Structure 1
Amino acid sequence: MIRKAVLALLALPLAACATAPPAAVAPPMDGNATVTVGIVGLNDFHGNLEPVQRALPVEDETEVQAGGAAYLASAIDALRARQEHSLVISAGDLISASPLVSSLFLDEPTVGAMNRMGLDFNAVGNHEFDRGWRELVRLAEGGCAKLTLREPCAVEPDYAGAEFGFLAANVRATPAMGRGETLFPGTAIRRFGEGENAVAIGIVGLTLEGTPGLVTPQGIAGLTFADEAETINAAIPRLRGQGADAVVVAIHQGLAPDDQPDVFGCAAISGPLREILDRLDGGVDVVISGHTHRPYVCDYASVDPARPMLVTSAAWGGQMLTDIVLTIDPAQDRVVAKRARNLVVANEAGDPVEGILRPAARADIAAYVARYAEAARAAETRPVGRLAGPAREEGIESPLGNLIADAQLAATRNAGAQIALMNPGGIRGDLIPAADGTLTFGQIYTVQPFGNTLITKSLTGAQLLALLASQFGEGREVIFAGSEGFRQVLARAGDGYRFVSATLDGRPIDPDATYRVTMNSFLSTGGDGFAVFAEGKDAVTGPVDLDAIETYLDGEAVRALPATGRIVVTG
């Protein structure tokens, strides 16, 4: 599906992305000059300071190696150089779920790299809260207070924080937190030009209302996450009242293109953001979105002429950027034309191709990333064990998910564990061993970068069955990987599945029995919306998940890949 989306998007010429037909946009008043403002949009960078290892498919049988902070910086420079006035805006998940070179250092180098690139604003995403709101504030504002298991300021003792603004319009704080009404400012105004040619861009930044279901509850204690559409609609008149000629929303929520190979526009797109867009007032000009990691540029006027806004997303990991151009008539205080396109940021030489930038690496950013890469090298390259073959996270059951669940069960047997369950959202990459099967710490860290501890709890069989049933429903499908001996039976239900039954060592789960179940600390407090985990009793804290997989892989023998068949689909 993503291949089709990228193909269709890159096939569009720049003019094809204009948001509204000429008749729908008032022309400039006679004799009035217009002002052009360029906006570079990005989303879901996730600390990918080095090039993304997976090639990006751009056309049939063609893939491009893309991303890397040094190349991204040059691409941003090139796009900004085309306009006298410009902004760079991120729609969240700038940090966390990051590769080792950033995550090992609490994502300080990602903030440093973005400072050097000239990022103006980042709307908070759900992953910004992975280490808790206090650590997020430290990361934004600087300082070396130790608020996590890892040491801050390990490479830059004078870490000073972000030179760009974090925006969090719908993240409400309590007075006791000392942060004001919201954790970070919700809106901002950026002004360009002087006199009669002065224009202002208003920006609203926010995350998805469902963030509490995606992060550890303790990390957001005291915060509430308000409705996205209501928050945006309340901000629009305030920004207009402050003189904003255009309103840009950066929201960490996204669309999901339908699987239609010959259609790639808003009419072919669904997803949580669609419902939000349909509730917005008509004063929004651009929505820079994220979260779903999909690339798209949509003319929402084709869906609803009353909402002629551009809706964009640039995939993930810095592999793409969105080039947005607004033409503003300062006499009318409004946008009179707008266009956008997504551009691949290639990091390899090649023939010129429409929609693909091939910038040179920017030397200062490359040196900065290399400094952190060198600091991480000893940890990254340390061998941790051997695996019989590649383990990828794909489909409803994968050897990688099973491997992690088995490792977690083995690590918590001394707590009485009988079953281990692993959420797919906690698996952030693949394990591809060297020719002799060797895996490094850097590889397993990339797969499990969150530093969760393992928790073993007692659940009744009835609770366990209710938990498994809650994997599906209300547009949700989160299928756990289960440890050896545990088996789920699912049935097809429309385009998805429903839970039917489960067994342990061949025996049906008994609703009246008690089972010792291991989960990570994120799930243990109800993460991912699985409240049943929080109901467990007699909790025992085990090792960090990363230590569990390292221990499981360690040894002279090559660890075999677990067989699949723990999830059976009927019907």
Structure 2
Amino acid sequence: MSARPHKKRAARRILVGAAVLSTTGALIAAIPATAGETKSAASLPGRYQDVQLLSFNDLHGNLEPPAGSSGRVTHVHEDGTTETINAGGVEYLATHLRQAREGNKYSITAAAGDMVGASPLISGLFHDEPTIEALNGLDLDVTSVGNHEFDEGAKELARLQNGGCHPEDGCYNDSEEFAGANFPYLAANVTDEKTGKPILKPYWVWKKNGVKVGFIGVTLEGTPDIVSAEGVKGLKFGDEVETINKYAKVLQKQGVKSIVALIHEGGAPASAAYNYDCDSPGPGDGISGPIVDIAKNITPQVDALVTGHTHQAYACTIDDPAGNPRTVTSAASFGRLYTDTTLTYDRWTGDIARTAVKSANHVVTRDVAKAPDMTELITRWKELAAPVASRPIGYIAGEIPNTGTESPLGDLIADAQLAYAKSLDPEADLALMNPGGIRAPLTYAASGSEGDGVVTYGEAYTVQPFANTVNLVDLTGAQLITALQQQVSGSNEAAPKILQVSAGLTYTLDLTKTGAARVVTDSVKLNGAAIDPAATYRVAMNSFLAGGGDGFAELGKGTNVLVGGDDLAAFEEYLTANSSAATPYPVPAADRITVVK
């Protein structure tokens, strides 16, 4: 999903003292013994060796089970009915992965980026050190970078890889330094603008008993469009296909013929069910989005693609340039699923027997035993975070979801930003909020010692973890309408990003049309009056949007800029001022944008 900017909050330091698939017998062929050998042919490796590839993506520091809809997946039954399953949490993910590995001597665990960033408070408060520790405990072998790995810039990413105390907040455990990741982060298409060299390893090779599988890791080329400028300063992001094809040749020259690409870019299956057959009626027919063209153009030398970014679940086959089917997978997000892929390795050729590759997504259910080491890790970091996380900041009358074209939570956040903007400048007219900057719903049910309807700082942090500022800019009415059109045109046409709007701004979105025409311009009104293209409006938005992020170039042209304070602080201030235990904040109606389908 889209990343949002982020210089991390300064006041974060807390003192320490406070599907396994078995190979059929027909695939096993013994290599005949040569003269003089004392071992029997039966004791030697067979020609074909199953290699288990377990994978996941877009964990985003979700160590604890994600709340609300963020912690659920949909299962579709053969009769077409569906059921919702609670899923996720690293205590359960660890157990599932360890059970899946049982009996598989050749097992690799890989990921496709966004392991950190936009994380809940238990990880984000500590610059995601807890998540790296958890991934080490999960025995992750390798991952690509994602756009969120650049939330705090390349230097911080290097620290997560190599270890060391945070340059500003120091060490959270006075007895030892942060050790860093036990696994390599791969960034083949992320290069230093000055040297032209990748900032991290471009590829990595897994080896065991003569079996070699190479991994190439890339993030989406458009990362600079969805990360703050400071986060990608001095970096260049190359084309995914060109980069993967380049390093596939490098691996081939090194004698590595079995290759997996870890790509932080994805697609959209036709169904939200994690077990939807996206190869029906034919290979790849049930999936769309950027990954389709990428998959069709990556060299046939690559045998499987593990993808991410879109937070969708799929296990498809998409034909490579030679017309041969190739596995393309994604395991949704937040640790709710993992993918189990069987790669059948041919010892004679050193390549994968593609016709034998099988893959399926599996739910990280919460009906298994918790992994004790993960429970200990979560408990330790929660104790450090508790003084900050448990502080009540408001009350709500029911769950405020983050779903729909216009979400109730989006309305709440936009209203909070407008209220804050008016405290800085009474002439503020409206506020706009990017949907990707809202990371979770506000749940009503109690968690821990709080009561139903109590909103804690930790919950609010999970909703808005990016540490943007709330800025004010002047836009003409014509610019405002252009910005609304950019929601559904240009880079956002295929996957619209609908801005959440503050009270008073209304308009009609006609989804039966295409491109910018979807925004019915004469319906755009502020407090009932039509937007005047020639008039000037004072508009509040977070610093990410004010920089033109998420494809909203027009918003980046605002003038008379006033940089305000932290967006989470504005959210907290608004909830505190407008709710109490006796009069909780009502669930917004989400009726500002009229959608025509």
Aligned to 2:318: 300
Shift of 1:33: 2.8
Question: CA contact under 8 A between 1:491 and 1:500: conserved in structure 2?
Answer: yes
DSSP-derived class of the 1:446 partner: helix
Q: Distance in 1 between matches of 2:225 and 2:188?
A: 18
- The answer to whether the 8 Å contact 1:108/1:139 transfers is yes
Report SS of the residue matched to 1:159: coil
Structure 1 residues 334 and 398: CA distance shift in structure 2, 3 A: closer
Residue of structure 1 equivalent to 2:466: 450
Choose the corresponding residue for 2:63, options 34, 49, 55: 49
Q: Does 1:500 align with 2:512?
A: no
Partner of 1:429: 440
Q: Is the counterpart of residue 569 in structure 1 residue 578 in structure 2?
A: no
2:594 is paired with a residue whose SS is: strand
CA distance in 2, matches of 1:227, 1:475: 19
Residue matched to 1:439: 455
The change in CA–CA distance for 1:368 and 1:492 in structure 2 (over 3 A counts) is closer
How far is 1:367 from its partner? 0.3
What letter is aligned with 2:405?
A: I
Alpha carbons of 1:83 and 1:495: their partners in 2 closer, same or farther (altered >3 Å)?
farther
Deviation by residue 1:193-223 (Cα, 9 ceiling, x = unmatched): 1xxxx12111100011111111112210111
Partner of 1:127: 148
Corresponding residue for residue 485 of structure 2: 469
Aligned letter for 2:474? S
- d(CA) in 2 for partners of 1:203 and 1:532? 39
The residue aligned with 1:347 is 366
Aligned in 2, Cα 1:382/1:511: closer, same or farther, shift over 3 Å?
A: same
Aligned residues: CA RMSD = 2.6
Deviations 1:66-112 (A, max 9, x none): 22212212222223332222221100111112222111111110001
Q: Distance in 2 between matches of 1:69 and 1:491?
A: 41
Is the CA contact (8 Å cut-off) linking 1:91 and 1:122 kept in structure 2? yes
Supply the AA of the counterpart residue of 1:320. Answer: L
Closer, same or farther in 2 for the Cα pair 1:113/1:539, shift >3 Å? same
Q: Do the aligned partners of 2:52 and 2:108 also contact (CA within 8 Å) in 1? A: yes
Query: Equivalent residue for 1:248?
Result: 260
How far apart in 2 are the matches of 1:398 and 1:63? 21
For residue 259 of structure 1, report the CA deviation from its aligned partner: 4.3
1:408 CA drift (Å): 0.3
Q: Is the contact between residue 49 and residue 68 of structure 1 (CA under 8 Å) also seen in structure 2?
A: yes
Which of residues 563, 583, 591 is equivalent to 1:541? 563
Partner of 1:364: helix, strand, or coil?
helix
Aligned to 1:141: 162
- Alignment deviations for residues 269-327 of structure 1 (CA, whole Å, 9 cap, x no partner): 111100101111111111111112222212335x8763332111112111211112222
Task: Indicate if the aligned counterparts of 1:245 and 1:328 stay in contact, CA closer than 8 A.
Answer: no
Q: Which runs of 4+ in 1 moved over 4 A?
A: 12-15, 26-32, 259-263, 494-497
Within the candidate set 194, 197, 206, 1:190 is matched to 206
| Equivalent residue runs for 1:35-184 within 5 Å | 35-53=49-67, 54-59=71-76, 60=81, 62-146=83-167, 151=169, 153-155=171-173, 158-175=177-194, 181-184=197-200
Query: Contact 1:42/1:321 (CA < 8 Å) preserved in 2?
Result: yes
CA distance in 1, matches of 2:341, 2:271: 26
Structure 2 residue aligned with 1:331, among 339, 344, 348?
348
Deviation at 1:523, TM superposition (A): 1.1
Superposition deviation, residue 398 in structure 1:
2.3
Once residues 272 and 54 of structure 2 are traced to their aligned partners in structure 1, the CA distance between those partners, rounded to angstroms, is 28
**Which one is further off, 57-66 or 460-469?**
57-66
* Secondary structure of 1:371's aligned partner: helix
Amino acid at match of 1:482: V
User: Whole-Å Cα distance in 2 between the matches of residues 80 and 564 of structure 1?
Assistant: 46
Aligned length: 532
Q: What TM-score, normalized to structure 1?
A: 0.87
- Out of 53-62 and 379-388, give the one that drifted further: 53-62
Q: What SS class does the counterpart of residue 472 from structure 1 fall into?
A: coil
Assess if the C-alpha contact under 8 Å between 1:169 and 1:205 holds in 2.
yes
Asked if 2 retains the 8 angstrom alpha-carbon contact of 1:123 and 1:250, the reply is yes
Q: 1:224 to 1:65 in 2, by over 3 A?
A: same
Q: What's the CA shift for 1:374? A: 1.8
**Which residue pairs with 1:258 in the alignment?**
270
Q: Aligned partners of 1:450, 1:215: CA distance in 2, in Å?
A: 11
Cα distance, 1:48 vs. partner? 1.1
8 Å CA contact 1:199–1:245 kept in 2: the answer is: no
Q: Map of 1:290-439 to 2, 5 A cutoff? A: 290-301=308-319, 306-336=323-353, 337-348=356-367, 358=368, 360-413=369-422, 414-415=424-425, 416-434=427-445, 437-439=453-455
Aligned to 2:503: 484
Distance 1:260 1:408, change over 3 A: closer
How far, CA to CA, are the matches of 2:373 and 2:441 in structure 1? 30
What CA distance in whole angstroms lies between the structure 2 residues aligned with 1:318 and 1:560?
A: 31
**1:121: how far off?**
1.0
The residue type equivalent to 2:364 in the other structure is V
Partner of 2:92, secondary structure, is helix
- Encode CA deviations 1:386-425: one digit per residue, 9 max, x unaligned: 2233211221122211110010011111234211100111
Change (3 A) 1:335 1:270: same
Name the aligned partner's letter for residue 213 of structure 2: I
Residue 11 of structure 2: aligned partner = none
Cα separation, 2, equivalents of 1:512 and 1:315 = 44
Give how far 1:245 is off: 3.0
Which whole-Å deviations, capped at 9, do the CAs of 1:8-31 have from their partners, x for residues lacking one? xxxx9959x99xxx9xxx997974
Measured in 2, the distance between the counterparts of 1:57 and 1:532 equals 37
Write the distance in 1 (CA, Å) between the matches of 2:21 and 2:343. Answer: 13
Segments of 5+ residues of structure 2 without an aligned counterpart are 1-18, 33-45, 446-450
Contact 1:199–1:244 at 8 Å: present in 2 too?
no
Give the TM-score normalised by the residue count of structure 2. Answer: 0.83
Paired letter, 1:238: V
Residues in 1 aligned to 2:596 and 2:339: alpha-carbon distance in whole angstroms: 43
2: CA distance, partners of 1:34 / 1:567: 58
User: Which whole-Å CA distance do the structure 2 matches of 1:247 and 1:29 have between them?
Assistant: 25
Query: What is the identity, as a one-letter code, of the residue corresponding to 2:536?
Result: T
Work out whether residues 155 and 372 of structure 1, in 8 Å CA contact, stay in contact via their aligned partners in 2: no
Opposite residue 430 of structure 2, the aligned amino acid is I
Q: Which region of structure 1 is more displaced relative to structure 2, 45-54 or 29-38?
A: 29-38
Alpha-carbon distance between aligned partners in 2 of 1:264 and 1:495, rounded to the nearest angstrom: 25
Distance (whole Å) between structure 2 residues aligned to residue 316 and residue 206 of structure 1: 18
Percent of aligned pairs sharing the same letter: 41
**Distance in structure 1 (CA, Å) of the matches to 2:400 and 2:358:** 42
The amino acid of 2:63's aligned partner reads L
Corresponding residue number in structure 2 for 1:8: none
2:527 is the counterpart of 1:521: no
Displacement of 1:371 in angstroms is: 0.5
Question: C-alpha offsets along residues 212-267 of structure 1, whole Å, 9 cap, x if unaligned?
Answer: 11111221011121111111111111111111130000101112112499853222
Which amino acid counterpart does residue 113 of structure 2 have in structure 1? G
5+ long unaligned stretches in structure 1: 1-11, 349-357
